[in-house]
Amino acid sequence: MAMLRRGCGAMRCFFHLVSTHDQILDDSGLEVADLGAMHEQIARAIHKIRQDDHHNEEDWRDWQLNVVDEAGNLLVTIPLGTQPA
């Protein structure tokens, strides 16, 4: 798993929605300064997905949010079918 390191500058992360049958790829991404900023963006993205969705939680059970770096290295995977604690 790739990691952001202190002092290495900002990094562009892409937030892809992926399921077993479909994918919605983020082609623009976001610049993040560090792991904390990346996790804040992940929380915002999941919150927005859940707020904007007009379907119930069951519709997301096969989906996950994959965060990748510019090289395509997987940084974080979060299943969307589970409610946040």
Q: Per-residue confidence of the chain (85 residues) as pLDDT tens digits? A: 344 444 456 889 999 999 989 999 999 999 998 888 888 988 888 888 777 765 555 577 889 999 999 999 999 999 987 655 4
Distance CA 37, CA 31 (A): 9
Q: Which of 59, 32, 47, 53 is nearest to 67 (CA)?
A: 32
Is residue 5 classed as helix, strand or coil in its secondary structure? coil
Reported as a single tens digit per residue, the pLDDT across 35-45 is 888 889 888 88
Q: Give how far Cα 84 sits from Cα of 32, 54, 80, Å.
A: 23, 18, 9
